[in-house]
Protein backbone atom coordinates (compact mmCIF):
# COMPACT_ATOMS: atom_id res chain seq x y z
CA UNK A 1 0.00 0.00 0.00
CA UNK A 2 1.41 3.40 -1.01
CA UNK A 3 0.78 6.50 1.12
CA UNK A 4 1.53 10.05 0.00
CA UNK A 5 2.58 12.08 3.07
CA UNK A 6 2.32 15.87 3.29
CA UNK A 7 3.90 17.93 6.11
CA UNK A 8 3.83 21.71 6.59
CA UNK A 9 3.53 22.30 10.36
CA UNK A 10 6.53 24.62 10.75
CA UNK A 11 9.10 25.83 8.20
CA UNK A 12 9.55 22.67 6.11
CA UNK A 13 7.26 21.99 3.14
CA UNK A 14 7.58 18.25 2.66
CA UNK A 15 6.05 15.40 0.67
CA UNK A 16 6.98 11.72 0.50
CA UNK A 17 5.72 8.38 -0.75
CA UNK A 18 6.10 5.45 1.64
CA UNK A 19 5.11 1.83 1.01
CA UNK A 20 3.49 -0.24 3.78
CA UNK A 21 4.57 2.23 6.47
CA UNK A 22 8.24 1.26 6.27
CA UNK A 23 9.76 1.61 2.76
CA UNK A 24 10.52 5.18 1.65
CA UNK A 25 10.08 5.57 -2.12
CA UNK A 26 10.64 9.34 -2.14
CA UNK A 27 11.22 12.10 0.40
CA UNK A 28 11.25 15.75 -0.71
CA UNK A 29 11.79 18.72 1.63
CA UNK A 30 11.81 22.44 0.81
CA UNK A 31 12.82 24.54 3.81
CA UNK A 32 12.53 28.28 4.45
CA UNK A 33 15.09 27.97 7.30
CA UNK A 34 17.66 30.26 5.66
CA UNK A 35 15.18 33.15 5.61
CA UNK A 36 14.23 32.65 9.27
CA UNK A 37 17.92 32.70 10.27
CA UNK A 38 17.88 36.44 9.57
CA UNK A 39 15.36 36.87 12.42
CA UNK A 40 16.77 34.30 14.87
CA UNK A 41 13.58 32.19 14.80
CA UNK A 42 10.72 31.07 12.58
CA UNK A 43 8.54 33.96 11.33
CA UNK A 44 5.09 32.35 10.90
CA UNK A 45 3.93 34.66 8.10
CA UNK A 46 7.03 33.99 5.99
CA UNK A 47 6.72 30.24 6.62
CA UNK A 48 3.06 30.22 5.44
CA UNK A 49 3.90 32.12 2.26
CA UNK A 50 6.75 29.78 1.38
CA UNK A 51 4.53 26.73 1.97
CA UNK A 52 1.91 28.14 -0.39
CA UNK A 53 4.55 28.75 -3.05
CA UNK A 54 6.31 25.38 -2.73
CA UNK A 55 3.65 22.81 -1.95
CA UNK A 56 2.43 21.79 -5.38
CA UNK A 57 5.98 21.50 -6.75
CA UNK A 58 7.11 19.49 -3.73
CA UNK A 59 4.21 17.03 -4.00
CA UNK A 60 4.74 16.66 -7.74
CA UNK A 61 8.44 15.94 -7.20
CA UNK A 62 7.68 13.36 -4.49
CA UNK A 63 5.33 11.49 -6.86
CA UNK A 64 7.86 11.69 -9.72
CA UNK A 65 10.78 10.49 -7.57
CA UNK A 66 8.67 7.52 -6.44
CA UNK A 67 7.77 6.78 -10.05
CA UNK A 68 4.08 7.18 -9.19
CA UNK A 69 0.99 9.04 -10.27
CA UNK A 70 -1.99 9.68 -7.99
CA UNK A 71 -3.53 6.49 -9.45
CA UNK A 72 -0.89 4.49 -7.55
CA UNK A 73 -1.57 6.22 -4.21
CA UNK A 74 -3.90 4.46 -1.75
CA UNK A 75 -4.26 7.35 0.73
CA UNK A 76 -3.00 10.86 1.44
CA UNK A 77 -1.68 11.43 4.97
CA UNK A 78 -1.41 15.04 6.10
CA UNK A 79 -0.18 16.69 9.30
CA UNK A 80 -3.22 18.49 10.73
CA UNK A 81 -1.96 19.28 14.29
CA UNK A 82 -0.09 20.63 16.19
CA UNK A 83 1.98 23.46 14.70
CA UNK A 84 1.82 26.97 13.29
CA UNK A 85 -1.78 27.35 12.21
CA UNK A 86 -1.06 29.29 9.00
CA UNK A 87 1.53 26.70 8.00
CA UNK A 88 -0.67 23.69 8.83
CA UNK A 89 -3.59 25.13 6.86
CA UNK A 90 -1.56 25.20 3.64
CA UNK A 91 -0.84 21.45 3.85
CA UNK A 92 -4.33 20.51 5.03
CA UNK A 93 -6.10 22.54 2.35
CA UNK A 94 -3.81 21.26 -0.39
CA UNK A 95 -4.33 17.66 0.76
CA UNK A 96 -8.12 18.15 0.95
CA UNK A 97 -8.19 19.51 -2.60
CA UNK A 98 -6.03 16.68 -3.91
CA UNK A 99 -8.18 14.12 -2.10
CA UNK A 100 -11.43 15.46 -3.56
CA UNK A 101 -9.99 15.91 -7.07
CA UNK A 102 -8.55 12.39 -7.26
CA UNK A 103 -10.99 10.47 -5.03
CA UNK A 104 -8.13 9.38 -2.76
CA UNK A 105 -8.91 8.89 0.97
CA UNK A 106 -7.46 11.51 3.32
CA UNK A 107 -5.90 10.57 6.68
CA UNK A 108 -5.16 13.26 9.30
CA UNK A 109 -1.89 12.65 11.19
CA UNK A 110 -0.68 14.16 14.48
CA UNK A 111 2.81 15.63 13.98
CA UNK A 112 4.33 14.00 17.08
CA UNK A 113 2.91 10.59 16.17
CA UNK A 114 4.73 11.18 12.89
CA UNK A 115 8.01 11.87 14.70
CA UNK A 116 7.60 8.61 16.62
CA UNK A 117 6.94 6.81 13.30
CA UNK A 118 10.26 8.08 11.87
CA UNK A 119 11.62 5.04 13.70
CA UNK A 120 9.50 2.67 11.60
CA UNK A 121 11.31 3.82 8.45
CA UNK A 122 14.74 3.76 10.09
CA UNK A 123 14.56 0.64 12.26
CA UNK A 124 12.56 -2.58 12.66
CA UNK A 125 11.00 -1.49 15.98
CA UNK A 126 7.41 -2.50 16.68
CA UNK A 127 5.19 -1.33 19.59
CA UNK A 128 4.97 -1.58 22.54
CA UNK A 129 7.85 0.72 23.47
CA UNK A 130 8.59 3.88 25.46
CA UNK A 131 9.45 6.97 23.41
CA UNK A 132 11.09 10.27 24.31
CA UNK A 133 9.76 12.79 21.79
CA UNK A 134 11.85 15.96 21.82
CA UNK A 135 11.30 18.71 19.29
CA UNK A 136 11.24 22.49 19.02
CA UNK A 137 7.78 22.66 20.57
CA UNK A 138 7.41 19.49 22.66
CA UNK A 139 9.19 17.27 25.20
CA UNK A 140 7.09 14.19 25.92
CA UNK A 141 7.58 10.74 27.39
CA UNK A 142 5.08 8.57 25.53
CA UNK A 143 4.02 4.97 26.06
CA UNK A 144 3.44 3.64 22.52
CA UNK A 145 1.10 0.73 23.25
CA UNK A 146 0.29 0.02 19.61
CA UNK A 147 0.74 1.91 16.33
CA UNK A 148 -2.33 4.01 17.14
CA UNK A 149 -2.68 3.77 20.94
CA UNK A 150 -0.57 6.23 22.94
CA UNK A 151 -0.36 7.47 26.51
CA UNK A 152 1.56 10.61 27.44
CA UNK A 153 3.34 9.83 30.73
CA UNK A 154 5.27 13.07 31.11
CA UNK A 155 5.63 16.38 29.37
CA UNK A 156 7.15 19.79 29.78
CA UNK A 157 5.36 22.30 31.99
CA UNK A 158 6.86 25.27 30.12
CA UNK A 159 9.52 25.36 27.38
CA UNK A 160 10.35 22.36 25.21
CA UNK A 161 13.95 21.14 25.23
CA UNK A 162 14.47 22.33 21.63
CA UNK A 163 13.04 25.74 22.40
CA UNK A 164 15.36 26.10 25.43
CA UNK A 165 18.37 25.05 23.30
CA UNK A 166 17.37 27.52 20.57
CA UNK A 167 16.90 30.45 22.98
CA UNK A 168 20.10 29.62 24.87
CA UNK A 169 21.99 29.44 21.57
CA UNK A 170 20.62 32.80 20.51
CA UNK A 171 21.68 34.36 23.84
CA UNK A 172 25.16 32.91 23.36
CA UNK A 173 25.31 34.59 19.93
CA UNK A 174 25.19 31.28 18.02
CA UNK A 175 23.47 30.74 14.66
CA UNK A 176 19.81 29.62 14.50
CA UNK A 177 18.76 26.93 15.24
CA UNK A 178 20.63 27.08 18.54
CA UNK A 179 20.17 23.34 19.20
CA UNK A 180 22.27 22.49 16.16
CA UNK A 181 24.91 25.13 16.98
CA UNK A 182 25.19 23.99 20.62
CA UNK A 183 25.59 20.38 19.48
CA UNK A 184 28.41 21.38 17.09
CA UNK A 185 30.24 23.60 19.57
CA UNK A 186 29.94 21.46 22.72
CA UNK A 187 32.73 18.94 21.97
CA UNK A 188 35.18 21.87 22.18
CA UNK A 189 33.99 22.86 25.67
CA UNK A 190 34.23 21.58 29.24
CA UNK A 191 30.78 20.31 30.27
CA UNK A 192 31.59 20.75 33.97
CA UNK A 193 32.57 24.44 33.67
CA UNK A 194 29.12 25.74 34.66
CA UNK A 195 26.89 24.19 37.32
CA UNK A 196 23.31 24.21 36.06
CA UNK A 197 20.38 23.03 38.17
CA UNK A 198 18.49 19.83 37.33
CA UNK A 199 14.89 21.06 37.79
CA UNK A 200 12.29 18.58 39.02
CA UNK A 201 8.53 18.99 39.25
CA UNK A 202 7.23 17.93 42.64
CA UNK A 203 4.31 15.55 42.48
CA UNK A 204 4.70 14.82 38.74
CA UNK A 205 7.46 12.24 38.42
CA UNK A 206 7.98 12.38 34.68
CA UNK A 207 7.21 16.03 33.80
CA UNK A 208 9.89 18.46 32.68
CA UNK A 209 10.66 22.14 33.11
CA UNK A 210 13.28 23.86 30.95
CA UNK A 211 12.47 27.54 31.39
CA UNK A 212 14.62 27.87 34.54
CA UNK A 213 17.64 26.38 32.74
CA UNK A 214 17.09 28.78 29.85
CA UNK A 215 16.88 31.74 32.25
CA UNK A 216 20.08 30.60 33.98
CA UNK A 217 21.99 30.83 30.66
CA UNK A 218 20.49 34.24 29.91
CA UNK A 219 21.54 35.48 33.39
CA UNK A 220 25.10 34.19 32.96
CA UNK A 221 25.41 35.98 29.61
CA UNK A 222 23.86 39.24 30.88
CA UNK A 223 25.98 39.33 34.05
CA UNK A 224 29.15 38.76 32.05
CA UNK A 225 28.18 41.47 29.55
CA UNK A 226 27.45 43.97 32.33
CA UNK A 227 30.81 43.30 33.97
CA UNK A 228 32.64 43.25 30.63
CA UNK A 229 33.78 39.67 31.29
CA UNK A 230 34.57 37.21 28.50
CA UNK A 231 32.54 34.01 28.47
CA UNK A 232 33.93 30.76 27.11
CA UNK A 233 30.90 29.99 24.93
CA UNK A 234 32.01 26.41 24.20
CA UNK A 235 32.14 25.68 27.96
CA UNK A 236 28.73 27.27 28.47
CA UNK A 237 27.21 25.37 25.53
CA UNK A 238 28.67 22.05 26.68
CA UNK A 239 27.49 22.53 30.29
CA UNK A 240 24.01 23.60 29.19
CA UNK A 241 23.66 20.71 26.73
CA UNK A 242 24.74 18.28 29.44
CA UNK A 243 22.12 19.67 31.84
CA UNK A 244 19.34 19.41 29.23
CA UNK A 245 20.29 15.85 28.28
CA UNK A 246 20.61 14.77 31.95
CA UNK A 247 17.11 16.10 32.67
CA UNK A 248 15.63 14.43 29.57
CA UNK A 249 17.18 11.06 30.34
CA UNK A 250 16.65 10.92 34.09
CA UNK A 251 12.85 11.05 33.74
CA UNK A 252 12.95 8.77 30.70
CA UNK A 253 14.98 6.21 32.67
CA UNK A 254 12.67 6.46 35.69
CA UNK A 255 9.56 5.98 33.52
CA UNK A 256 11.08 2.96 31.76
CA UNK A 257 12.05 1.37 35.08
CA UNK A 258 8.71 2.01 36.75
CA UNK A 259 6.65 0.75 33.82
CA UNK A 260 9.04 -2.03 32.88
CA UNK A 261 9.81 -0.96 29.30
CA UNK A 262 12.88 -2.55 27.76
CA UNK A 263 12.51 -1.15 24.24
CA UNK A 264 13.31 2.57 24.25
CA UNK A 265 13.02 4.98 21.35
CA UNK A 266 13.87 8.64 20.82
CA UNK A 267 12.34 10.91 18.18
CA UNK A 268 11.90 14.55 17.11
CA UNK A 269 14.34 17.24 15.98
CA UNK A 270 16.40 17.10 19.20
CA UNK A 271 16.89 13.33 18.76
CA UNK A 272 19.63 14.35 16.26
CA UNK A 273 21.66 15.63 19.22
CA UNK A 274 24.90 13.67 19.50
CA UNK A 275 25.12 13.91 23.29
CA UNK A 276 21.52 12.74 23.73
CA UNK A 277 22.10 9.81 21.37
CA UNK A 278 25.36 8.80 23.08
CA UNK A 279 24.06 9.16 26.65
CA UNK A 280 20.79 7.36 25.82
CA UNK A 281 22.83 4.54 24.30
CA UNK A 282 25.00 4.30 27.44
CA UNK A 283 21.92 4.34 29.70
CA UNK A 284 20.26 1.53 27.74
CA UNK A 285 23.45 -0.52 27.64
CA UNK A 286 23.73 -0.22 31.44
CA UNK A 287 20.22 -1.64 31.93
CA UNK A 288 20.31 -4.17 29.07
CA UNK A 289 17.55 -2.24 27.22
CA UNK A 290 17.46 -1.75 23.46
CA UNK A 291 17.58 1.78 22.03
CA UNK A 292 16.17 2.80 18.65
CA UNK A 293 16.90 6.19 17.10
CA UNK A 294 15.84 7.59 13.71
CA UNK A 295 18.43 8.11 10.98
CA UNK A 296 19.63 11.72 11.13
CA UNK A 297 17.79 12.61 7.93
CA UNK A 298 14.45 11.61 9.52
CA UNK A 299 14.96 13.39 12.89
CA UNK A 300 13.83 16.81 11.67
CA UNK A 301 10.47 17.52 10.08
CA UNK A 302 9.78 15.41 6.98
CA UNK A 303 6.79 13.84 5.27
CA UNK A 304 8.07 10.24 5.16
CA UNK A 305 7.34 9.96 8.89
CA UNK A 306 3.81 11.36 8.30
CA UNK A 307 3.20 8.80 5.53
CA UNK A 308 4.54 6.02 7.81
CA UNK A 309 2.16 6.92 10.64
CA UNK A 310 -0.59 7.62 8.09
CA UNK A 311 -0.32 4.01 6.89
CA UNK A 312 -1.00 2.63 10.39
CA UNK A 313 -3.81 5.13 11.03
CA UNK A 314 -5.40 4.26 7.65
CA UNK A 315 -5.17 0.53 8.41
CA UNK A 316 -6.89 1.31 11.73
CA UNK A 317 -9.82 2.93 9.87
CA UNK A 318 -8.96 6.59 10.45
CA UNK A 319 -10.38 8.84 7.73
CA UNK A 320 -10.76 12.61 7.57
CA UNK A 321 -14.23 14.08 7.48
CA UNK A 322 -14.78 16.45 4.53
CA UNK A 323 -14.63 19.49 6.82
CA UNK A 324 -11.30 18.52 8.43
CA UNK A 325 -9.54 21.50 9.98
CA UNK A 326 -6.02 22.23 11.24
CA UNK A 327 -5.27 22.77 14.96
CA UNK A 328 -2.37 24.65 16.56
CA UNK A 329 -2.51 22.40 19.64
CA UNK A 330 -3.76 18.85 20.16
CA UNK A 331 -2.79 16.16 22.71
CA UNK A 332 -1.26 13.19 20.91
CA UNK A 333 -3.14 10.62 22.99
CA UNK A 334 -6.60 12.16 22.64
CA UNK A 335 -7.25 13.30 19.09
CA UNK A 336 -10.20 15.21 17.73
CA UNK A 337 -10.67 15.54 14.00
O1 LIG B 1 11.09 18.27 15.18
P2 LIG B 1 11.65 19.54 14.71
O3 LIG B 1 12.43 19.54 13.42
O4 LIG B 1 10.52 20.61 14.58
C5 LIG B 1 9.48 20.67 15.50
O6 LIG B 1 8.55 19.85 15.38
O7 LIG B 1 9.60 21.50 16.42
O8 LIG B 1 12.58 20.10 15.88
C9 LIG B 1 13.28 21.28 15.77
C10 LIG B 1 14.16 21.41 16.99
C11 LIG B 1 14.84 22.77 17.10
O12 LIG B 1 14.65 23.25 18.40
C13 LIG B 1 16.31 22.45 16.84
O14 LIG B 1 17.20 23.30 17.52
C15 LIG B 1 16.40 21.04 17.38
O16 LIG B 1 15.21 20.43 16.95
N17 LIG B 1 17.55 20.31 16.85
C18 LIG B 1 18.61 19.95 17.63
C19 LIG B 1 19.53 19.31 16.77
N20 LIG B 1 19.00 19.30 15.51
C21 LIG B 1 17.79 19.93 15.58
N22 LIG B 1 18.83 20.10 18.94
C23 LIG B 1 19.98 19.63 19.43
N24 LIG B 1 20.92 19.01 18.67
C25 LIG B 1 20.74 18.83 17.35
N26 LIG B 1 21.66 18.20 16.62
ZN1 LIG C 1 8.66 18.32 14.29
Does the C-beta of 135 come closer than 6 Å to ligand 1? yes
Does the C-beta of 179 come closer than 6 Å to ligand 1? yes
* Per-residue confidence (pLDDT) for residue 129, from 0 to 100: 98
* Per-residue confidence (pLDDT) for residue 203, from 0 to 100: 84
Q: Which ligand places an atom closest to the C-alpha of 84?
A: 1
* Per-residue confidence (pLDDT) for residue 335, from 0 to 100: 96
* Per-residue confidence (pLDDT) for residue 166, from 0 to 100: 96
Which atom of ligand 1 is found nearest the CA of 184?
26
As a whole number, mean pLDDT of residues 181-198 equals 96
The Å distance, Cα 117 to ligand 2 centre, comes to: 12
* Contact in structure between 224 and 272 (CB atoms under 8 Å): no
As a whole number, mean pLDDT of residues 79-99 equals 98
Which atom of ligand 1 is found nearest the CA of 136?
7
* Contact in structure between 248 and 134 (CB atoms under 8 Å): yes
* Per-residue confidence (pLDDT) for residue 157, from 0 to 100: 95
Nearest to 21 by CA among 106, 110, 90, 120: 120
DSSP state letters, 266-331: EESGGGG-HHHHHHHHHHHHHHT-EEE---GGGTSS-SHHHHHHHHHHHHTT----TT----S---
Which atom of ligand 1 is found nearest the CA of 183?
24
Which of 13, 134, 270 most suits a substitution to test ligand 1, by most atoms within 8 Å of the C-beta?
270
Does the C-beta of 273 come closer than 6 Å to ligand 1? yes
> Which pLDDT band holds residue 314 (cuts at 50, 70, 90)?
very high
Does the C-beta of 116 come closer than 6 Å to ligand 1? no
Which of 177, 182, 309 most suits a substitution to test ligand 1, by most atoms within 8 Å of the C-beta?
177
Amino acid sequence: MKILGIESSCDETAAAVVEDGRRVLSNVIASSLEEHKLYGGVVPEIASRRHAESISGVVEEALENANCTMDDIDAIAVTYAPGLIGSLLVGVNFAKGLSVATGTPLVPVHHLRGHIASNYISTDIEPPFLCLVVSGGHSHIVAVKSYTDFEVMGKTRDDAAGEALDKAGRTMGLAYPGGVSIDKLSPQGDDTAYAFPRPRISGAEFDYSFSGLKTAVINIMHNANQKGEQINVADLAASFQRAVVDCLLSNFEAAAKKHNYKQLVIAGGVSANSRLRADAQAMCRKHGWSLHVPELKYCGDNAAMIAAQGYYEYCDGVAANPGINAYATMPLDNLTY
